[in-house]
Structures are given as structure tokens and as C-alpha cells.
Structure 1
Amino acid sequence: MSDRTENVAVSGESAPPPRLLNVDALRGFALFGILAVNIWAFADPYYASPSSNPTFDSGLDHALRFVVALLFETKFYLLFSFLFGYSFTLQMAAAERAGTAFVPRMLRRQGALLVIGLVHGAVLYYGEILSTYAVLGLALLACRGMPPARAIKVGIGLVLAVGVVWMLLGLAQLAEGDAGGTPSSDVTAKLVGFGGDAAATLGFHSGHLPSTLAAVAALQAPSAMAMFLFGFAAGRLRVFADPDGYRPLMRRILLLGLPVGLTGAVAYALAAAYAPGGGLETFAFGLGQLTAPGLTASYVVAALMLFQTVRGGRIERALAPMGRIALTNYLLQSVVLGVLFTGYGLGLVDRLSPPVVLAVVPAVFLCQAEMSRRWLRRHRYGPAEWVLRAATLAAIPPWRAR
């Protein structure tokens, strides 16, 4: 029995359509951006502190902080959120092919994602977002009957509301004379936790998880929900199944979204790199929340065009294995960064210069890309994807690819 037939027999589904390589490749691209942001939470104890790192002793250090804030921060979790919304429609289609009720499948899937996320946050990375996705996925489940046009309007409303609220908070801080803060006590706690043994690192992650989940709910959840809705609308319209049919729209997105997105990104990056911790950064963060979806959409369009034009889809095929097992790779990134920077391994927190930290990103990513390609030669799913699919189907999926 072929792997395709075996999978159909296990899941009860009719033969699924071919995978969308562009969606998998976009997930792989998103993993690169997420790694470029998350690595600083491991390597730099001052990251997300009210004060910039006082050990940054050169213009290059600050320039790299500016570039990361400009191109990566607040952009790639939005891309992942958008793809989550798109994949939600693929799950709907899979349930329809299988002739099974969609809601129980999705409840099981989100429950499993919540468990994975909480374990990930308590053990490997206190700043994790999977548990937030699990909860927001239930809200998307309630909106599953929403027409695409209405989903887009609700998403735009969320983006506007979030941006305006943060900008007003920034103005209030400035009116009170809050120009910046001093390093928080979390800096010392992270140095102790990551520079100690494995038990110290575990204690830091588990102890900071509740406060971080609250921060993620305030800082990222509303924008993530907006991108869920945008992705859901794109999935209902099957945009990635027929990207050529949306070329005029994609050109308009680049012409409008790129300059608008970069304007907000520059404002946020300048504040984050050179005036952190006060009302100016809060105001710039709000402006960035208004414009970041435009830059993220421009990334999507530019990537799709690149996939179609560079040497017959070579980049798309190279990134697709990473995205096909994106959940496993996301968790693996936390494992690798934990071994490098915390008490789980080398404890290199605050010991590498910013250029060296940034150089680690492509090295880790390229290793993951090659490992993903090799893994999928013999396995149909990544380990985390296999667990998530087993929970979704309430059945045991095939482990090996035949």
C-alpha cells in the first residue's frame, strides 16, 4: 500500500490535492525571520529591557540592532499568523474531504497545540507564542462562516485599533516626561538563569512564562488575530493556489504596502535602537503596528515573485521542506539556542558580540534546511507535526514515508 493510500486509509479522507509548495516555502522564510528575532532573547539579557544594552560599544552594534528592528521585529510573527489563517482553510477542506465534522477536529488540534506551546514555554523559551495561537485559533473557529470581505474588514479594524491605542499610550508617556527607563531586574535574573546550570534555566523559563503570556496577549495577540483573518480570507479565495490570477493585486500591494510599511518600520527601529524604553518607543511601536501588515504583505508578494522567477523555483523547493515541518523546526530553534546560550549547554548569554550573534542565524537556518530535507526523505511528517496530526484525527498517522 502506498504512503498516500495508507494516509487516506488512516484519516478517512479522499485523496488530498497536491501540497502548495509556495505556502510551505513561505513558512520556511518565516522561520528565518523568527530565528533572527528570537536569538536576541537568548543571547542578549538586555533585549526587551527598558534600556538598550550598555555593552553595545560601537556604531556597528547599534546599526545591527536597528536593522533587526527594521526588517524583522513585529513582521515575521505576522507572516506566521497569516499563514496560520490560510492553513485553517486547508484544514476545513481536509475535513470536508474526509466527510467528518470540522469543529471536533479543530478543537483537538488547538488543544494539542496549547499543550505543546505551554511545555515549550515552560522548558525551552518563555517568550513562546504557540499557546496564544492555540487560543486565537478558537476565535477563528467561531468566525469560520465569515465571508472573506468581512474578514478583511474586521482585520483592518483590529489593526487600526491596536495602532491607535499604542500611539495614544506613547503620547501619554511623553506628556508625563517619560523619556526612557533603566534596565529592569529581569536582566540580572536572565544572566543568573542562563549563566547557571540547567535547573536555573528551567526555573527562569517556567517562572517568567505567566508574565510573558500576558505581555504577548497585549503586544501581539490582537495583531496576530488580524493576520489570522487576512490569511483566512486569502485561503477562502485560494490566492496561493492561483497566484497568477492575483498579479494586479500583488503589484498594488508592493506599490503601496512597501513604502508605507517601511516608513513605520524606520520609525520603530530608530526608537528601539536609539531611544528605547519610553514614550517615544511606545508611540513608534503603535505606528509600526499600523504599518507592519503592509510590510509583511510586501514580503509575501516579493517572495512569491522570487519563487516563480529564480531558476525555475529553486528557492521555493529549497525552503519548502523547512516549512513543511515548520512546527518541529520552530521548537528545534529553541533547543539549539538553549544549548548555545543558556544553562542547558554552553551558557554564552551576553558573551558574543552582536555581529557574531547575527552570524549564527544563517548557520542554524541552513543546518535546519538540510536536516529537514533529509528527514522528509524517510518521514511524512516532522515529530511535532505527527503529534499534532494524531490529535487532529484521533488516529495514528503513518510515521515513515514509503
Structure 2
Amino acid sequence: MNANSSRLDVIDALRGFAIVSIMLLHNIEHFDFYFSPSGLPPWLMAVDKIIWDSLFFLFGGKSYAIFALLFGMTFYIQDHNRSLRGQDFRGRFAWRMVLLLGFGVFNSMFYHGDILSIYAVLGLALIPVARLRNGVVLGIAVCLLLLPHAWVEFLLALPNPDGKLADPASWAYFGRAEKYMAHGSAFDVWRGNLSNGKIGVIRWSWENGRIFQIPALFMLGMLAGRLSLFIQSESNRIFWRKTLLAAALAFIPLYLLKSSPDAWHIGAAVYRPLLVMVTSWSNVAFTLVLVSGFTLLSYSANWLKIFSPLGRMSLTSYVVQSIIGTSIYYGYGLGLYQYTGASFALAIGLTLALLQRQFSVWWLGRHKQGPLETLWHKATWIGAHSEAVPNIGANIPKNSL
């Protein structure tokens, strides 16, 4: 296996792994319609809680972060390959984000928690940093990961740390969404998701630091591309081992802090912004545990390639799972939110993931890209004078910080 194919294998597999984990989380959440069915036997409720806690421990706030890292990595590959031809990709990338926003708005009709539209807007942050030195980009990413808005809230709360806080603004929007998710028609859901639901998700993303964390992860992914970190080599193996160890050591105290609010002994006004910061940093640390662990396993575990077909069709897979999933759980469809706890929802999610993988294998056996990937690609390069397929397999020079 040469360096180029090994890099693509692990990126595709890692992206596919993220798609599967997102599928499982979305199913146990009933695609953001949180509802616990009544009348379940105690033993099943106990199993449901174990499944819920375990999946959120493993993937909650991490799966989307993996996607964000790979998003930045993909930007670098495309930008680098255009620069080898003496072309500037940044203008075309801006258009590409407009197209992604269109996919995101469509997906938001079905699932208001859609991440594509947020990626499309925040992805523009890569344009001004694309020509900066590695150290500068890393410094900007670290500043964003520190969550400046949470620090401002913390400092403002210090004069009155025990002050009573209002509920986060996003809660009201999510509360209104429950009505049309449970009893509305498909049109009611689409209209509600594009108005009420989307505003709620944007507010929630701000409240929880995602608006700062996402572009930071984009930039870290771009740096990973510059440094060729996903090419299999002994030096990269050492790098990922060190990353795994450092991320695990950082995650443990952060997770313990997040999980033990009673031990903080501080007022509610200062507790909330601090909890947002600790939770965000904990999720980033565990994301690096997952990415580094997965990458190290890819050096010897060929079975990880089972995720690759899903990774190559991640856009199609993500949108299709929203359409099918909400049709299964929401009231306008089968309404299974009323009957499925985490155990049954997990079984449904695993089944859908397997079906999506088999569909991806079948489709890719006949086409180079997934259907939405093909549409996105053709629309991205519309008006180009020559075929502009980015040569993703091209060698990427290894730079130093």
C-alpha cells in the first residue's frame, strides 16, 4: 500500500466511522425528538440508560468534531492540488460552501439539527487563514478552542456569582418543536424546522461553543493535511501515539470535572460558562483519542475499511439518514418515538447503518461518487474551462511548524 492510498483509506474509513456513530446517536435521540416511552419494564429501562450513557460518552459531541477535522483536511487537499496547477481554489471554495448551504437547508427541512448549513457558513473561515503560516493558524485555532464568548460570560458573572440565570434561549425553540414533531404533518415539520428549529439550533450552537469550536477544528484538519499526518509512516505512528496519550491524559480530569458538578461549590452564574468550556475541551480531547486510536489501528487492522464506502458517500449518507430517520420516528411518519427506547432505537440505527453501507457498496461499484457528491462536484466546477477534478491522491509536502 503506497502512501497516497493508505492516506485515503484511513480518511474514508474515519469519515465512515463518524457517519455510523452519528446514525446511532440520532436514532436513540429520535432525531432530536427526546421522548421516553412509558410502560417499559424496569430491566429494559436500565438497559436503555446504559446504552444512552455509553453512546453519548463515546460519540456525543465527538462524531461531528471528527467530521470537522476531515472537512479541514479535505479543504487543504483541494486547495493544494489547485495550487500545483497555479490556480487559487479559495474563490471556488466559497461557491462550494454556497452549494453546501443549499444541501444543508434541504436537510434541515427533515432534521433541524443539520450540521451541513453550519459547516457551510463557518467553513468560510478557512479562506483568510489558508495562506498563513502553520504556527499562526495553530494559534488562531487554540484561541477559538478557548471559547472567548464563555470567558466573557464568566467574567461578567464574577460580580454576582450566585445570580439566578434564565434558561438558555434555545430551550424555548426546542420546546415548541415537540408539538409539530409529534402531531404535525410533513409540511408542518418542514416549515417548523426551517424557522423555529433552525433558530434554536443556531442559538444552541452559540450557547455551547460550537460556533468557535467548529472553525478551530477545520483549521486543525487543514494543518493535519499540511503535515501529511494521515500518511502511514513510522514518524506519524509516533505522532499519533503521543497524541493518543496526551489526549487521554487531558480527557480524564476534564471528564471528571464535567461529571461532578456538586464538587465545584461555585455559584450558578459562573458555573454555566465554566461547564461549557470544560465540556467542549473534554469533547475535543476524546475526539483526538478516537481519531488517533482509529488511525493507529488502521496501520494493521484492515477490517476498518468496512467503513470506507460510507465515508466516500458521507454527504449522501448524512442526508438520507435524516429523511429516513425522521420518517420513522416523527408523527407524520411511523411515529415510533412513542414506542422505542434507546435499545430498540439502537437496533434500528444499526440496521439502517448496515443498509446504508450495502447501498454505498452497490452504488460505488457502478459510479465514482455518491449521487449528492456527484451533484456537488459538478456544480462546484460549473463554468470551469477544463475538467477540475481535485487529484486527492497527489503527494502533499510535509511542512514543519
Shorter-normalised TM range: 0.7 to 0.9
Please name the residue that 2:264 is paired with.
Answer: none
Distance 1:163 1:98, change over 3 A: same
Please name the residue that 1:292 is paired with.
Answer: 283
Q: CA RMSD in A?
A: 3.2
Separation (CA, whole Å) in 1 of partners of 2:220 and 2:299: 23
Note if contact 2:37-2:340 (Cα within 8 Å) is conserved in structure 1.
no
Separation (CA, whole Å) in 2 of partners of 1:199 and 1:353: 26
Please name the residue that 2:337 is paired with.
Answer: 349
Percent identity of equivalent pairs: 26
Amino acid in structure 1 at the alignment position of 2:127: L
Structure 2 spans left out of the alignment, 5+ residues? 262-267, 389-401
Q: Secondary structure at the match of 1:42?
A: coil
> 2:310 matched to 1:306?
no
> 2:25 matched to 1:25?
no
Note if contact 1:170-1:283 (Cα within 8 Å) is conserved in structure 2.
no
Please name the residue that 1:108 is paired with.
Answer: 95
> Superposition pairs for residues 310-389 of structure 1, below 5 Å?
310=301, 313-315=302-304, 317-389=305-377
> 2:202 matched to 1:213?
yes
Separation (CA, whole Å) in 2 of partners of 1:45 and 1:270: 27
1:268-321 residue CA offsets vs partner (Å, 9 max, x unmatched) = 4677xxxxxx876764332121232221111111111222222xx232x21111
Distance 1:189 1:81, change over 3 A: closer
Please name the residue that 1:245 is paired with.
Answer: 235
Please name the residue that 2:397 is paired with.
Answer: none
1:227-265 residue CA offsets vs partner (Å, 9 max, x unmatched) = 111111111111112453222221111112013224434
Q: Secondary structure at the match of 2:131?
A: coil
Distance 1:170 1:330, change over 3 A: farther
Distance 1:54 1:340, change over 3 A: closer
Separation (CA, whole Å) in 1 of partners of 2:98 and 2:200: 21
Separation (CA, whole Å) in 1 of partners of 2:290 and 2:149: 20
> 2:136 matched to 1:150?
yes
Structure 1 spans left out of the alignment, 5+ residues? 1-16, 48-52, 272-277
Amino acid in structure 1 at the alignment position of 2:227: L
Separation (CA, whole Å) in 2 of partners of 1:372 and 1:88: 23
> Superposition pairs for residues 179-218 of structure 1, below 5 Å?
186-187=174-175, 189-207=177-195, 208-218=197-207
Note if contact 2:330-2:337 (Cα within 8 Å) is conserved in structure 1.
yes
After superposing the two structures, state which structure 1 stretch, 387-396 or 247-256, moved more. 387-396
Distance 1:179 1:359, change over 3 A: farther
Separation (CA, whole Å) in 1 of partners of 2:23 and 2:157: 32
- Which TM-score applies when normalising by structure 1? 0.80
Q: How many pairs were matched up?
A: 366
Amino acid in structure 1 at the alignment position of 2:235: G
